[in-house]
Protein backbone atom coordinates (compact mmCIF):
# COMPACT_ATOMS: atom_id res chain seq x y z
CA UNK A 1 0.00 0.00 0.00
CA UNK A 2 1.48 3.32 -1.08
CA UNK A 3 0.94 6.24 1.29
CA UNK A 4 1.57 9.96 1.23
CA UNK A 5 3.95 11.45 3.85
CA UNK A 6 0.97 12.27 6.09
CA UNK A 7 -0.02 8.60 6.15
CA UNK A 8 -2.96 9.03 3.79
CA UNK A 9 -3.30 6.18 1.30
CA UNK A 10 -2.63 7.35 -2.24
CA UNK A 11 -5.48 6.65 -4.67
CA UNK A 12 -3.04 5.18 -7.24
CA UNK A 13 0.08 3.01 -7.37
CA UNK A 14 1.36 4.29 -10.73
CA UNK A 15 1.52 7.76 -12.26
CA UNK A 16 2.76 9.18 -15.53
CA UNK A 17 5.62 11.63 -15.17
CA UNK A 18 5.10 14.16 -17.97
CA UNK A 19 8.58 15.50 -18.82
CA UNK A 20 8.59 18.62 -21.00
CA UNK A 21 12.24 19.63 -20.57
CA UNK A 22 15.53 17.78 -20.95
CA UNK A 23 14.05 14.65 -19.35
CA UNK A 24 12.21 14.00 -22.61
CA UNK A 25 15.58 12.61 -23.72
CA UNK A 26 15.64 9.06 -22.39
CA UNK A 27 19.41 8.96 -21.90
CA UNK A 28 19.28 12.11 -19.77
CA UNK A 29 16.27 10.92 -17.72
CA UNK A 30 18.12 7.68 -16.94
CA UNK A 31 20.36 9.67 -14.57
CA UNK A 32 17.31 10.46 -12.44
CA UNK A 33 16.48 6.75 -12.25
CA UNK A 34 19.92 5.15 -11.93
CA UNK A 35 22.02 8.07 -10.75
CA UNK A 36 25.13 9.62 -12.22
CA UNK A 37 26.20 12.75 -14.01
CA UNK A 38 25.01 13.58 -17.56
CA UNK A 39 27.52 14.69 -20.17
CA UNK A 40 28.16 18.47 -19.93
CA UNK A 41 26.05 18.62 -16.75
CA UNK A 42 27.22 20.16 -13.48
CA UNK A 43 25.34 17.87 -11.09
CA UNK A 44 25.59 14.23 -10.04
CA UNK A 45 22.20 12.64 -9.30
CA UNK A 46 21.69 10.03 -6.56
CA UNK A 47 18.99 8.25 -8.57
CA UNK A 48 15.79 6.58 -7.39
CA UNK A 49 15.61 3.95 -4.69
CA UNK A 50 13.83 1.73 -7.22
CA UNK A 51 15.85 1.87 -10.45
CA UNK A 52 13.46 -0.23 -12.53
CA UNK A 53 12.99 1.29 -16.02
CA UNK A 54 9.64 2.98 -16.74
CA UNK A 55 6.85 0.51 -17.45
CA UNK A 56 5.88 2.45 -20.56
CA UNK A 57 6.54 5.76 -22.29
CA UNK A 58 4.19 7.78 -24.47
CA UNK A 59 4.10 11.12 -26.31
CA UNK A 60 1.69 13.62 -24.76
CA UNK A 61 0.61 17.19 -25.40
CA UNK A 62 -0.14 19.31 -22.34
CA UNK A 63 -2.40 22.37 -22.34
CA UNK A 64 -0.31 25.48 -21.72
CA UNK A 65 3.13 26.70 -22.73
CA UNK A 66 6.73 25.79 -21.98
CA UNK A 67 9.14 28.70 -21.59
CA UNK A 68 12.75 29.31 -20.52
CA UNK A 69 13.58 31.40 -17.46
CA UNK A 70 15.91 31.75 -14.46
CA UNK A 71 19.24 29.88 -14.71
CA UNK A 72 19.75 26.14 -14.75
CA UNK A 73 22.05 24.93 -11.97
CA UNK A 74 23.01 21.97 -14.17
CA UNK A 75 23.38 23.43 -17.67
CA UNK A 76 23.60 27.22 -17.11
CA UNK A 77 21.28 29.38 -19.20
CA UNK A 78 17.51 29.37 -18.89
CA UNK A 79 15.67 26.24 -17.77
CA UNK A 80 12.38 24.85 -19.06
CA UNK A 81 9.32 25.76 -17.03
CA UNK A 82 5.63 25.20 -17.74
CA UNK A 83 2.63 27.48 -17.36
CA UNK A 84 -0.60 25.47 -17.73
CA UNK A 85 -2.64 28.68 -17.93
CA UNK A 86 -0.82 30.07 -20.98
CA UNK A 87 -2.32 29.59 -24.45
CA UNK A 88 -1.01 26.86 -26.71
CA UNK A 89 0.27 23.38 -25.93
CA UNK A 90 3.46 21.83 -24.63
CA UNK A 91 5.03 18.68 -26.06
CA UNK A 92 6.09 16.17 -23.43
CA UNK A 93 7.11 12.57 -22.86
CA UNK A 94 5.19 10.55 -20.29
CA UNK A 95 6.98 7.86 -18.28
CA UNK A 96 4.85 5.37 -16.35
CA UNK A 97 6.46 5.13 -12.90
CA UNK A 98 5.50 3.86 -9.49
CA UNK A 99 4.42 6.62 -7.13
CA UNK A 100 7.62 6.06 -5.11
CA UNK A 101 9.75 6.47 -8.24
CA UNK A 102 7.92 9.66 -9.15
CA UNK A 103 8.37 11.13 -5.67
CA UNK A 104 12.10 10.33 -5.88
CA UNK A 105 12.34 12.06 -9.28
CA UNK A 106 10.42 15.05 -7.91
CA UNK A 107 12.61 15.16 -4.80
CA UNK A 108 15.75 15.31 -6.94
CA UNK A 109 14.27 18.16 -8.99
CA UNK A 110 13.49 19.94 -5.73
CA UNK A 111 17.09 19.33 -4.54
CA UNK A 112 15.92 16.97 -1.82
CA UNK A 113 17.24 13.44 -1.25
CA UNK A 114 15.36 10.44 -2.66
CA UNK A 115 12.87 9.29 -0.06
CA UNK A 116 12.13 12.84 1.09
CA UNK A 117 8.49 13.61 1.77
CA UNK A 118 6.72 14.68 -1.43
CA UNK A 119 2.94 14.64 -1.14
CA UNK A 120 0.99 13.77 -4.32
CA UNK A 121 -2.61 13.54 -3.08
CA UNK A 122 -3.55 17.20 -3.41
CA UNK A 123 -2.18 17.47 -6.95
CA UNK A 124 -3.93 14.28 -8.07
CA UNK A 125 -7.25 15.29 -6.52
CA UNK A 126 -7.23 19.03 -7.24
CA UNK A 127 -4.97 19.41 -10.29
CA UNK A 128 -2.22 21.41 -8.58
CA UNK A 129 -0.31 21.64 -5.31
CA UNK A 130 2.51 23.95 -4.27
CA UNK A 131 4.96 22.16 -1.98
CA UNK A 132 7.46 25.01 -1.68
CA UNK A 133 8.57 28.30 -3.25
CA UNK A 134 11.18 26.78 -5.57
CA UNK A 135 11.34 26.47 -9.33
CA UNK A 136 10.13 22.86 -9.48
CA UNK A 137 8.17 22.65 -6.23
CA UNK A 138 4.68 23.02 -7.71
CA UNK A 139 3.02 19.80 -8.89
CA UNK A 140 0.56 19.93 -11.78
CA UNK A 141 -1.80 17.15 -12.85
CA UNK A 142 -3.08 17.97 -16.37
CA UNK A 143 -5.35 14.90 -16.53
CA UNK A 144 -5.10 11.13 -16.93
CA UNK A 145 -3.71 8.73 -19.49
CA UNK A 146 -4.97 5.14 -19.66
CA UNK A 147 -6.44 5.54 -16.18
CA UNK A 148 -3.28 6.81 -14.48
CA UNK A 149 -2.76 10.45 -13.41
CA UNK A 150 -0.36 12.63 -15.38
CA UNK A 151 1.96 14.62 -13.10
CA UNK A 152 4.66 17.17 -13.76
CA UNK A 153 6.32 19.98 -11.84
CA UNK A 154 7.01 23.64 -12.46
CA UNK A 155 7.37 26.99 -10.71
CA UNK A 156 4.51 28.53 -8.69
CA UNK A 157 4.45 31.79 -10.68
CA UNK A 158 2.96 32.74 -14.05
CA UNK A 159 5.28 32.92 -17.05
CA UNK A 160 4.45 36.57 -17.63
CA UNK A 161 5.75 37.58 -14.20
CA UNK A 162 9.31 36.32 -14.66
CA UNK A 163 12.22 37.32 -16.87
CA UNK A 164 12.71 34.92 -19.77
CA UNK A 165 16.26 33.62 -20.21
CA UNK A 166 17.91 31.99 -23.22
CA UNK A 167 18.84 28.32 -22.66
CA UNK A 168 22.32 26.88 -23.24
CA UNK A 169 23.38 24.74 -26.19
CA UNK A 170 23.84 21.46 -24.23
CA UNK A 171 20.41 21.87 -22.67
CA UNK A 172 18.72 22.52 -26.01
CA UNK A 173 20.44 19.48 -27.47
CA UNK A 174 18.78 17.24 -24.88
CA UNK A 175 15.38 18.82 -25.46
CA UNK A 176 15.66 18.43 -29.23
CA UNK A 177 16.80 14.82 -28.97
CA UNK A 178 13.87 14.15 -26.65
CA UNK A 179 11.41 15.58 -29.17
CA UNK A 180 12.92 13.46 -31.93
CA UNK A 181 12.72 10.31 -29.79
CA UNK A 182 9.25 10.92 -28.44
CA UNK A 183 7.27 12.74 -31.10
CA UNK A 184 9.09 11.41 -34.19
CA UNK A 185 10.11 14.96 -35.04
CA UNK A 186 12.65 15.69 -37.70
CA UNK A 187 15.60 17.77 -36.46
CA UNK A 188 14.06 20.79 -38.18
CA UNK A 189 10.68 20.28 -36.50
CA UNK A 190 12.26 19.86 -33.08
CA UNK A 191 14.47 22.93 -33.56
CA UNK A 192 11.55 25.03 -34.78
CA UNK A 193 9.44 24.15 -31.74
CA UNK A 194 12.26 25.10 -29.34
CA UNK A 195 13.23 28.27 -31.22
CA UNK A 196 9.69 29.60 -30.82
CA UNK A 197 9.45 29.11 -27.04
CA UNK A 198 9.69 32.28 -24.90
CA UNK A 199 13.27 32.76 -23.74
CA UNK A 200 14.75 31.00 -26.76
CA UNK A 201 12.87 33.09 -29.34
CA UNK A 202 14.98 36.00 -30.56
CA UNK A 203 18.24 34.38 -29.41
CA UNK A 204 18.16 30.92 -30.94
CA UNK A 205 17.09 30.26 -34.53
CA UNK A 206 15.87 26.99 -35.98
CA UNK A 207 19.12 26.59 -37.94
CA UNK A 208 21.27 27.28 -34.88
CA UNK A 209 19.48 24.67 -32.78
CA UNK A 210 19.46 22.13 -35.59
CA UNK A 211 23.23 22.54 -35.91
CA UNK A 212 23.63 21.29 -32.32
CA UNK A 213 22.26 17.87 -33.21
CA UNK A 214 24.37 14.93 -34.36
CA UNK A 215 24.18 14.32 -38.09
CA UNK A 216 23.57 10.96 -39.72
CA UNK A 217 25.95 10.36 -42.54
CA UNK A 218 25.34 7.92 -45.37
CA UNK A 219 27.98 6.29 -47.51
Q: What is the pLDDT of residues 160-210, one digit of tens each?
A: 999 999 999 999 999 999 999 999 999 999 999 999 999 999 999 999 999
**HSE (side-chain half, CA atoms, 13 Å) at 88:** 12
Kindly report the pTM of this predicted structure. Answer: 0.90
pLDDT computed for residue 44 by the predictor: 81
Q: Kindly state the percentage of the chain with pLDDT values over 70.
A: 92
Give per-residue pLDDT as tens, 119-171. Answer: 999 999 999 999 999 889 999 999 999 999 999 999 999 999 999 999 999 99
Above 90 in pLDDT, residue 5? no
Give per-residue pLDDT as tens, 11-31. Answer: 579 999 999 999 999 999 999
Amino acid sequence: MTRDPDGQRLPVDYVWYAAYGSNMHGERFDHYLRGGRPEHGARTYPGCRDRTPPRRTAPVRLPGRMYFALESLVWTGGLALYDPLDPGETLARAYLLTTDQFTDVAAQEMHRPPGAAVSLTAAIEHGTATLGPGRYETLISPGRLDGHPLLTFTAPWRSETTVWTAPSAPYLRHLAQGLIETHAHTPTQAATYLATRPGAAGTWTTNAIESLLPTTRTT
